[in-house]
Structures are given as C-alpha cells and as structure tokens.
C-alpha cells in the first residue's frame, strides 16, 4: 500500500466512522432513510459534510486502499461489492438531496 497523504488519511478516518453500520445495512438490504440523514448530520457532522463533498466513486477509491486491512478489510470488502456500491450511490444521492 502506498503512503497515504494526510488529507486522504483524514478523509478515510472520517468515512470509517460509519463503515461498520454501512456494511451491516448493505448485508441486510436496508437503505438509509431521510430521517437518518438528519440524524447523521447532527451526530456525525464531519461524515455528513464529507459525504456532501465526495462522489460515491471517490469514497470507493478511498475504501479500496483498505480492502486488505486486518481490522477494516471485511467491512470494506462488503462496501466494494456491487450491492455495497449501489447502497453507497443511493445514500450519497439522499445526502445530496437533503436540505442544508
């Protein structure tokens, strides 16, 4: 794995705050609801802000760097599946459609 720049590392840390919950949602097939976006904005504002700035493809690129990580790898690999990518795309669209 190549060295991660500090900005990239910070983005990864922010994304990984929600990684376990996101992978559980993918496995269960449960989409994120609008009220959960409001809750995300309140409880994890840094995650919310980052998700409004990045595309699903950019988040996936960050995730891909950690697919073999000993602690994060299982959840990252779930997010890299077609179902995980679709869930992420849908969730990011929902976040983008939320009122500021």
Q: Tens digit of pLDDT for each residue in 44-57?
A: 999 999 999 999 99
Mean pLDDT score across all residues of the chain: 91
Residue 96 buriedness (CB in 10 A; 0-12 / 13-18 / 19+): exposed
Q: How many CB atoms lie within 10 A of CB 100?
A: 4
The Cα 95–Cα 25 span in angstroms is: 16
Which whole number is the average pLDDT over 74-82? 96
User: b/e string for 52-72 if b means 16 or more Cβ within 10 A?
Assistant: eebebeebbebbeebeebeeb
Q: How many CB atoms lie within 10 A of CB 49?
A: 13
Predicted pLDDT at 6: 80
Predicted pLDDT at 97: 92
Judge whether residue 5 has pLDDT over 80.
Answer: no
Predicted pLDDT at 84: 96
Span 7-35, pLDDT tens digits: 888 888 999 999 999 999 999 999 999 99
Predicted pLDDT at 98: 87
Which whole number is the average pLDDT over 71-94? 95
Predicted pLDDT at 73: 93
């Amino acid at each position: 794995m190549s060295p991660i720049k500090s900005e990239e590392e910070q983005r990864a840390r922010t994304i990984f705050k929600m990684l376990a919950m996101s992978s559980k949602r993918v496995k269960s097939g449960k989409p994120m609801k609008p009220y959960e976006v409001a809750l995300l904005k309140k409880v994890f504002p840094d995650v919310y802000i980052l998700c409004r700035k990045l595309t699903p493809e950019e988040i996936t690129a960050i995730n891909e760097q950690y697919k073999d990580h000993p602690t994060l790898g299982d959840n990252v690999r779930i997010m890299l599946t077609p179902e995980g990518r679709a869930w992420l795309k849908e969730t990011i669209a929902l976040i983008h459609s939320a009122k500021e």
